[in-house]
Amino acid sequence: MSRASSGPAVLLVVLLVWLLGTSGCTYMKTRSPGESIRYEEKVGQQFALEASTYFRWMDEPEVLDFIKDIGHRLSAHIVGTPYEYRFYVIRDPTMNAFAVPGGYICFFAGLIAQADTVDGLAGVMAHEISHVEGNHFIRGQQKMDVANIASLAATILAAALGGGQGAAAGVTLAQAAQQTAQLHYSREFEREADREGVELLASAGFDPNGMVSIFKKFHALARLNAADVPPYFYTHPLPAERIYEVEGWAKAMGKIRRSRPQLETQFELARITARLRTERFDALAAWQKERVDENPGSAREKFLLGYLHLKRGNLPLAVEHLQKAFDMDSSIVEHYIYLARAYHLHGNLVRAKQLLESAYEIEPQNYLVEIFYGDLMSQGEGWLEALHHYQRAAILNPRSCIAHASLAKAYERIQERGKSYYELALSDKCAGRYLKAVYYFQKALKHLDKDGREAKLVQAELEWMGIEE
């Protein structure tokens, strides 16, 4: 990674301040708690609409739904939180994550790809959630020159959108980098987020040492190559003494009762999918093949190699490696699900159905089983049965992009155009593509009964986004 990769992070930091600056805000201690929360929600909504066109958002369930799962497991343990948390993944190799007022948390794919453990990712998530709960961004405005930063933001946004020459854009970003020191959270806020994050991890059944391990990884990368500092360092400086303090808090928690479910398989899928979308396939597949050769008795390594070929569309190789992994270990539901998917796409529908029915028996509440089964039923004229499975998937996981996208596909096939557009809009909103969601919500209204339930839901969504019909 080169220092140039800090560009998106710099743009993001400035964008946040620009959103605040253009709202004419003042330090939030002058407002009542209720006004403060409403203001933060408005900032978050503005951010979601603005940022939706600046980044490539990931919607693959193996990555996005996994990150959402971790985030919601953590936020569920915050007593009395006023925020409705939303989690997104940006398709970029940068090692970064950030929080936006109002409960918007974004992870870069590069951070997921480089994480070593589930608890490490949860550590970053808990830290970012703690920044939101502590109102740190709003409280920190008293130390900012908002007018100057707003002007700088306008210049950077114009360059990012192609309004200036490449050389000029480079100078602008360099100037922005010099300004980031003013935008760091204060030592007090970082300490508060560390401490609250450690407690949140423990309460949700994650290992608090996960935060220690991933912070140490950031710090080690910075020491090894100062020109390759993870962008997370720019907005969250991690000096050695701070890491030592976090380690002390983690030890003080004592022995933690790990109440979280086993998420290791999902973590491996999230990590390798993030790498697949930010690295060259040939190099990644060769690396994974070496892992298989080095660990011939590992069903996990064979499964991941088969999964890579499945995502690439190399179906014969996908079936071969996924079948070997399944033969070695048939206790993991993902082994059934993805082997079934490979057989389905390769044309063996009977075997695919058998595997999915077995997956139902192992984990009847798995929404991906419902989606893949619906896809299987959609062959020929089985769209009504497919619709039933997609509806169940959306009930099991209402925050899943793929569930809503599948529903959109089914409604389109049965000529329910308004409902199809509505589900497309929900799918885009779930991924972070808010402006695209607005487009489909507006198209849905043209096909729905204006007095019907769906039309009222669409109008509520547009009102929430500040869009007037």
Domain extents in the chain: 3-252, 264-464
Predicted confidence at residue 34, as pLDDT, reads 61
Mean of pLDDT over the chain? 82
Q: Which amino acid is at 415?
A: Q
pLDDT class of 464 with cuts at 50, 70, 90: confident
Lowest mean pLDDT among 39-53, 181-195, 207-221, 415-429: 181-195
Q: What is the pLDDT of residues 64-83, one digit of tens each?
A: 999 999 999 999 999 889 99
Provide long-range contacts, Cβ within 8 A and 24+ apart, for 454-459.
454/418, 454/419, 454/422, 455/418, 457/422, 458/422, 458/425
> What confidence tier does 149 reach under pLDDT thresholds 50, 70, 90?
very low
Distance (Å, whole) CA 269 – CA 194:
28
465 vs 250: which has the higher pLDDT? 250
CB-based contacts of 317-324 (< 8 A; 24+ apart in sequence): 318/342, 318/346, 319/343, 319/346, 321/292, 324/299
pLDDT at 426: 97
Q: What is the pLDDT of residue 35?
A: 60
What is this structure's pTM?
0.85
Pairwise pLDDT comparison (45 vs 314), residue with the higher score:
314
Say what the pLDDT of residue 227 is.
56
With CA atoms as reference, report the closest residue to 101 among 79, 115, 84, 125: 84
Q: What is the pLDDT of residue 259?
A: 65
The whole-number average pLDDT for the span 360-367 is 95
Q: How confident is the model at residue 267 (pLDDT cuts 50, 70, 90)?
A: very high
pLDDT, average across residues 438-459: 93
Residue 231 has pLDDT above 70, yes or no: no
Look at residue 156 and tell me whether its pLDDT is greater than 80. no
> Per DSSP, what are the bridge partners of residue 100?
104
Each residue's pLDDT tens digit, 290-307: 999 999 999 999 999 999
The CATH number, out of the four listed (3.90.1150.10, 2.30.110.10, 1.10.150.130, 1.25.40.10), of the domain defined by the range 264-464? 1.25.40.10
Q: Name the nearest CA neighbour of 72 among 431, 399, 404, 427.
A: 399
